[in-house]
Amino acid sequence: MIAILKYNAGNTTSVENAIKRLGYSTLVTDDVSLLKSAEKVIFPGVGEASSAMNYLRERNLEKVLKSLTQPVLGICLGMQLLCESSEEGNTEGLGIFKTKVRKFPAENIVPHMGWNNFTSVRGDLFQHISIENDCYFVHSYYAELCSETIATTDYILPFSAALKKDNFYATQFHPEKSANFGLTILKNFLEL
């Protein structure tokens, strides 16, 4: 079973539908025992960082997420919360990825919204994906480049489009909204 983390951040339905299209069963949950026993965990999100982290802390999900040993995929806000901190709401993150989340500097062209390709990709998550493939982004904050960056995109400045450390993977873009390329990335994750 693929667990999709429920934490009062949007976008769980589109992630659930994409996973089902790939032939997997899913469950949207914040139940600790179900998260721990899931084959894979997806940490999606559209929302605001500080309120999302408060929800996780109030339910002790912060510690549970850090302790997971199966593959975990953070998407958009889920990725940002896996980082050390976010400028959005001056939020302390889970610290899985050793990078900070910053606000894009140019107010008149934020959020970054639409289709963008990559300037680099590497690793298992990007099998059968090239830098020419476009994925869908919608965000005003970005993770800085770091040693755990496995894909980069350039919008105003270069930033981490995807991160990986141990069993944790994350994408700033929305694979569930990125047509066939996004489904390929989700399939790659589900087959890890």
Containing domain of residue 186, as a range?
2-190
Alpha-carbon span 176 to 164, nearest angstrom: 18
pLDDT per residue as tens, the chain (192 positions): 999 999 988 789 999 999 999 999 999 999 999 999 999 999 998 889 999 999 999 999 999 999 999 999 999 999 999 999 999 999 999 999 999 999 999 777 889 999 999 999 999 999 999 999 999 999 999 999 999 999 999 999 999 999 999 999 999 999 999 999 999 999 999 999
The set of catalytic residues is 76, 174, 176
Which pLDDT value is given to residue 127?
A: 96
By C-alpha distance, which of 81, 83, 80, 77 is closest to 96? 83
Which pLDDT value is given to residue 8?
A: 81
Give the chain's domain count.
Answer: 1
Q: Which residue has the tokens 């919008």?
A: 155
Which pLDDT value is given to residue 45?
A: 85
102: which 2 tokens?
A: 């910053």
Tell me the DSSP string of 72-101. Answer: EEEETHHHHHTEEEETTTTEE---SEEEEE
- CATH for 96: 3.40.50.880
Torsion sign (Cα): 73, 75, 81, 83: positive
Q: Which distant-in-sequence residues (6+ apart) come within 8 Å of 118 by Cβ? A: 129, 130, 131, 133, 135, 151, 152, 153, 161
pTM for the predicted model, two decimal places: 0.96
Q: What angle do CA 115, 117, 123 make, to 5 degrees?
A: 125
